[in-house]
Structure 1
Amino acid sequence: MDVNDKRVLRLCRKLNIKSTIKYANNGCTRQSANPQYIAKNILNREFIAGTPNKKWLTDVTEFHYYAGIEKHKISMSAILDLYDRRIVSYVIRDHNNNALVFDTFDAALEASPNAHLIFHSDRGFQYTNRVFRAKLEATGMTQSMSKVAKCIDNGPMEGLWGIIKREWYYGKRFTSREAIVEMIENYIEYYNKQRLQRNLGVFAPIEKNTNYIYKQHKNCQWNSPLAKKLNILSIVYLTGNGSSMPGSNIVNSHKSVIADSVPYFLMGRISVIS
């Protein structure tokens, strides 16, 4: 169904529905004081990818909660796929350190073990670390970094943080760590599976990804082993849980076959909360 923007505006006014406020950006992450490695901006603001697992963006952000009058913070690291704008993996921790970023990368690699792509970030200390550079080289990925103080070089990733915070975070007071972690988990579930995006053809990220999978395999015989695997995966997607399904052992036994195009996190949330 096509709906004109002006009609949406008129109905919102009639129902007194107000949009969330876009807050001013507080600035970009500055370059690490002693970077061990700096990569060129290979991505060069080309934020379109023709297939999944070709271009990933990553970044770290903070959320705050209160315990009485004391203000606390947690850090969240995430990886975004530029093809379908899905959150491939994320990690939530109390501290912004190397382990936060390294574990996020490991979770994404578990989701897509055969991904050989451009991996783009800012120049934060975790990404300029030699250990992280070695992890990328070991998987055949090409590292790309934003220029100094150029947030727009990582625009879609910065935009994701803004979307999460405007829609479910700003204007609310979270009074426990558990409450804010639950909010983040629920939002990512909603964002990946339900939140429609105009630039994806009015699909949610997982819908966009699933459409790609079926287009790739639309000519296969539907009684073939591959088709049966795809059928199982569609059930996994609809139920959100593959571990308790009859036949989930079939999916698990063929991860390597479908890893290139099927997001493994559909079979269970890829996140680390600690």
Structure 2
Amino acid sequence: MRFAAIADWADSGDFDVAMMCSWLGVSRAGYYKWRNTRPSTRAVLDAHLSEIIAAVHAAGRGDPGVRRVWAELRARGYRVAKKRVWKLMKAAGLRGRHPKAWKKTTLAAARPVGAPDLIGRDFTAGAPNQKWCGDITYVKTWTGWAYVATVIDLYSRRIIGHAVADHMRTDLVTDALTMALTRRPAPGVIFHSDRGSQYTSTAFAAFCAANNIRRSLGRTGICYDNAVAESVFATYKKELIHTRPWPNIAALRTATVEWIEAYYNTTRRHSYLGYLTPREIELGYTHINHIAA
């Protein structure tokens, strides 16, 4: 620190080096040796990586952790170990944010329903538009509760339909499905959900029949039976909802659309997808190293 102070003063021409070394009790030889010592190649690279890491962390939603920052570096062509990223993030005081624990958010149907579980916790698909899933969550705004419904393609984890409203009626989920069907006509697609009353209603059954959608229902109150939809909402809450207050539903709707379309589907790297984005999966990429190639 003394050498650095001397260098600053010397560069400004305010004081003589010999005089400053005498004042601070250090030798001139030691100062000039420090001044002429070049940083190592690794130190230079660490400084460069630290700048990139800080930019990636700042650009990421919800304070991305080591794995997601590492994946973005790989996609940009930096071949660096996760441990090194962890050390550089720790030195810079950067850390990821973890989602809150899952809790049940939908109301179970009051009557038994006949739709089977066509997924059986197999949340994979060989191609787009074979299996979709969805769910509802709620968000508190200053003007009251808002409710968000999603439709997710299990092939790429892309959110292909969504709706935000001030109610939990069945048309909340049918609006989200209508968006998905408009974007991706998919006769015979499986749509999987929990047994919330919206998904077991007569109106929803009629909507699915009219649009050739095969209904699939998980068990009541078992988060693992609709794990993908629950995971998406955990990310949504962590990276958007819990980062700010929400004055009204209009502000929430605008931010939700932007988060889904401009970030989650196109930019955010998903651990399940090998840290590719849903868009990259649908473009045919199979490994993160292909992005930088």
Q: Same fold (TM over 0.5)?
A: yes
Match for residue 13 of structure 1 among 78, 82, 90: 90
Aligned position for 2:279: 206
Paired position in structure 2 for 1:118: 190
Q: What's the CA shift for 1:125?
A: 1.1
* Separation (CA, whole Å) in 2 of partners of 1:124 and 1:22: 23
Shift of 1:101: 1.1
Aligned partner of residue 193 in structure 1, secondary structure: coil
Give 1:204 shift: 1.3
Q: CA deviation at 1:95?
A: 0.7
**C-alpha deviation, 1:28, in angstroms:** 5.3
Please report the TM-score for the alignment, with normalisation by the length of structure 2: 0.66
Could you say if the C-alpha distance between residues 30 and 92 of structure 1 is closer, same or farther in structure 2, counting changes exceeding 3 Å?
Answer: closer
Cα distance between partner residues in 1 of 2:249 and 2:170: 21
Mapping 1:1-274, distance limit 5 Å: 1=74, 2-27=79-104, 29-34=106-111, 37-66=113-142, 72-189=144-261, 190-211=263-284
Structure 1 letter corresponding to 2:196? G
Do the aligned residues in 2 keep the contact of 1:123 with 1:146 (CA within 8 Å)? yes
Residue 38 of structure 1 contacts residue 128 of structure 1 at CA under 8 Å; is this kept in 2?
no
Moved more, 56-65 or 1-10: 1-10
Contact 2:134–2:152 (Cα < 8 Å) also in 1: yes
Structure 2 Cα separation of the partners of residues 18 and 127 of structure 1: 38
Structure 2 gap ranges (5+)? 1-73, 286-293
> Which residue type is aligned with residue 175 of structure 1?
P
Go from structure 1 to structure 2 and tell me whether the alpha carbon gap of 1:128 and 1:176 turns closer, same or farther (over 3 Å shift): closer
SS in 2 for 1:170: helix
- CA gap of 1:181–1:139, structure 2 versus 1, over 3 A, is closer
Give deviations 1:21-58, integer Å, cap 9, x for gaps: 321222353421135x3312110000111100011001
Please identify which structure carries the higher helix content. Answer: 2
Give the alignment's TM-score, normalised by structure 1.
0.70
Would the alpha carbon gap of residues 93 and 28 (structure 1) be closer, same or farther in structure 2, given more than 3 Å must change? Answer: closer
Shift of 1:171: 4.3
Larger radius of gyration: 2
- 1:52-86 per-position Cα deviation (integer Å, ceiling 9, x unaligned): 0011001111111225xxxx211111100000000
> In the alignment, is the contact (CA less than 8 A) between 1:60 and 1:77 conserved in 2?
yes
Q: Which residue of 1 aligns with 2:43?
A: none
Determine if contact 1:32/1:123 at 8 Å carries over to the other structure.
yes
Taking only aligned residues, the RMSD between alpha carbons, in angstroms, comes to 1.9
Contact 2:147 2:164 in 1 (8 A): yes
Secondary structure of residue in 2 paired with 1:101: helix
Q: Distance in 2 between matches of 1:41 and 1:52?
A: 20
CA distance in 2, matches of 1:55, 1:38: 19
Given that residues 150 and 161 in structure 2 are in contact (C-alpha distance below 8 angstroms), is that contact kept between their aligned partners in structure 1? yes
* Runs of at least 5 residues in structure 1 that lack an aligned partner in the other structure: 213-274
CA drift of 1:184 comes to 1.1
Separation in structure 2 between the aligned mates of residue 39 and residue 11 of structure 1, nearest angstrom: 51
The CA deviation at 1:182 is 2.3
Number of equivalent positions: 207
| Rounded Cα–Cα distance in structure 2 between residues aligned with 1:57 and 1:185 | 18
Greater relative CO (CA pairs within 8 A, separation 6+)? 1
Deviation, 1:3, is 3.9
